Amino acid sequence: MLPINSQHGYSVAQYFLLLSLVPLITAKGDDVESPEKIHDAEKPPSETQLDLRRVVFVIQSQRNSFHVQQAEKLRKDLLLQTHALQESPPVILLLHTLSDNEGDWSILPLLPYLSSQFGKNSSWIMFLEEDTRVKLQKLHEVLKKFDHRKEWFLGKPLHDEESTIIHHYAFSENPAAFEYPDFSAGWALSIPLVNRLTSKIEDEPLKSDFTIDLKHEVALYIWEDGKGPRLTGVPELCTLPEHNPRAQYCATTVSSHSPLCGQPVKSENIFVAVKTCKKFHSDRVPVVKKTWSKQASLLEYYSDYADPSIPTINLGVPNTERGHCGKTFAILKRFLSSHMPKTDWLLIVDDDTLIRMVFSREAVVQLLASGCKCYSNDAPDDMVLGMCFNALRVPVTHSPLFHQARPEDYAREFLAHQTPISFHKHWNIDPIAVFNKWLKNGENTEGLQKSTKEEL
């Protein structure tokens, strides 16, 4: 869970690609012609002509330096395609640069800005993830099938196989009845829908809260208990690998290349802290030992009881039924102490996690130096950490490969194009079987890559 807090934001990252190839159209800056001026300067094209200028692309980028590079590569590819088509380039925005509102990553707070900037002279807002690949001409052919003067919510539909906690057990009687978009395939809103949603947001401001599964919650907000449109499935929006032969029919695909973000971090440079308690020593700890812990070079178990047979270390923090903030902060302090080997990375894991949250050493140093702390031992550690790092402007980098629930809690097609790093909870599953099916062969605990050490 990542907190949404409009009080704090991220700084603007610098752009560096394609400035000499084609005009860069942005929503900011006095030295660049605005999309409105460009539209007014030329006669409107006929309905049969390819007009990419009426499509606004929003790349769901992150401030992390690696992810900025990935987003820039996608923008470069879109501009190269436009150049090859001998067309004026569309508006291409990187989400993390649009404002200092940290909550913009959740899309809905961004809609009023998009409406004010593009609500008169554009037809579609097309959202893309960094790994989405687009065939511009085919995408335009797809969008032309829909009357952009009406409200449309387009995407590749996902649905739940069973009611799930990550969706608050919505549609429990028939989970498959509600469809939501797979962001990896790209998804689009027509401008009339963007404008109406903006009016709704202005009349009823969004709550400053947290989100669990963004794609599902965006779809629920748009649907508005049946008052708004449902997701319209578009077969050409795909999550096939870009080089799959069947992808020739797709307007979007997913990059089939693993991101090259540096050399793999050696297991000796990752310290693993497992949070447990006495009542779970006999059932959960053995699962950890039979599965992923074999890949960890440096690992300790932290409990409310020192059990030499495991062994566990008692940090002096009483066990709590939920939250565990006190235990987490005790682990962070121990990580920087002389008792521990000096490693660049700390991986904190619950005893019922098949792997979780990762910190760089510098992030831990900054956190503890700030004086930020738990307001109680049972405070939710993830929320407190999110607020602390947000105040420090240390970016929490999102990866969709970390999962806070079981495989059964996610749409089958969503997991089909992933190589997962983690799952959570042993409820009503065989955790060893889950590990062997989803995580064992990929050896994802060795997937940490070199990164800027100020980033979480």
- Residue 292 tokens, joined: 């992923």
Average pLDDT over residues 219-243: 96
Q: What is the pLDDT of residue 103?
A: 75
Q: What is the pLDDT of residue 260?
A: 63
Q: What pLDDT, in 10s, does the model give residues 289-339?
A: 999 998 999 999 999 999 999 999 999 998 887 778 999 999 999 999 998
CA distances from 162 to 168, 176, 404, 409, 411 (A): 12, 8, 17, 7, 9
Q: What is the pLDDT of residue 101?
A: 76
Q: What is the pLDDT of residue 213?
A: 94
Residue 71 burial by Cβ neighbours in a 10 Å radius (0-12, 13-18, 19+): buried
Q: Which letter does DSSP use for residue 102 in this model?
A: G
Average pLDDT over residues 227-244: 96
Longest dimension (CA), the chain: 79
Of residues 205 and 446, the one with the higher pLDDT is: 205
Q: What is the pLDDT of residue 158?
A: 98
Of 238, 223, 226, 159, nearest to 193 by C-alpha is 223
What span, in angstroms and rounded, lies between the C-alpha atoms of 196 and 224?
Answer: 12
The half-sphere exposure of 379 on its side-chain side, counting CA atoms within 13 A, is 16
Q: What is the pTM of this model?
A: 0.82
Give yes or no for residue 261 having a pLDDT over 80.
no
DSSP symbols for 268-318: GGEEEEEE--GGGTTTHHHHHHHTGGGG-SEEEEEESS--TTTTEEE-S--
The CATH code for residues 267-446 is: 3.90.550
If you search the block for the tokens 């089958």, which residue do you land on? Answer: 412
Q: What is the pLDDT of residue 452?
A: 36
Q: What is the pLDDT of residue 346?
A: 96
What span, in angstroms and rounded, lies between the C-alpha atoms of 407 and 426?
Answer: 11
Which amino acid is residue 36, in one-letter code?
E
The fold for domain 2-254 equals Spore Coat Polysaccharide Biosynthesis Protein SpsA; Chain A (3.90.550)
Of residues 106 and 11, the one with the higher pLDDT is: 106
Give yes or no for residue 352 having a pLDDT over 80.
yes
Q: What is the pLDDT of residue 8?
A: 36
> Which regions of the chain carry the CATH code 3.90.550?
2-254, 267-446
Report helix, strand or coil for 444.
Answer: helix
Q: What is the pLDDT of residue 25?
A: 36
**Confidence at 445, pLDDT banded by 50, 70, 90:** very low
Percent of the chain residues topping a pLDDT of 70:
83
398 touches 2 (CB < 8 A): yes
Give yes or no for residue 159 having a pLDDT over 60.
yes
Average pLDDT over residues 412-428: 92
DSSP symbols for 134-201: E-HHHHHHHHTTS-TTS--EEE-EE--SS--GGGTTTTTT-GGG--EE-GGG-EEEEHHHHHHHHHHH
**Confidence at 86, pLDDT banded by 50, 70, 90:** confident
Report helix, strand or coil for 113.
Answer: helix
Q: What is the pLDDT of residue 47?
A: 44
Q: What pLDDT, in 10s, does the model give residues 385-415?
A: 988 998 998 888 888 889 989 999 999 999 9
Radius of gyration of the chain (CA): 23
**Confidence at 26, pLDDT banded by 50, 70, 90:** very low
| Cα distance between the two ends of the chain | 14
Of residues 78 and 40, the one with the higher pLDDT is: 78
Q: What is the pLDDT of residue 117?
A: 97
The half-sphere exposure of 151 on its side-chain side, counting CA atoms within 13 A, is 12
What span, in angstroms and rounded, lies between the C-alpha atoms of 258 and 256?
Answer: 7
Of 253, 267, 10, nearest to 133 by C-alpha is 253
**Confidence at 236, pLDDT banded by 50, 70, 90:** very high
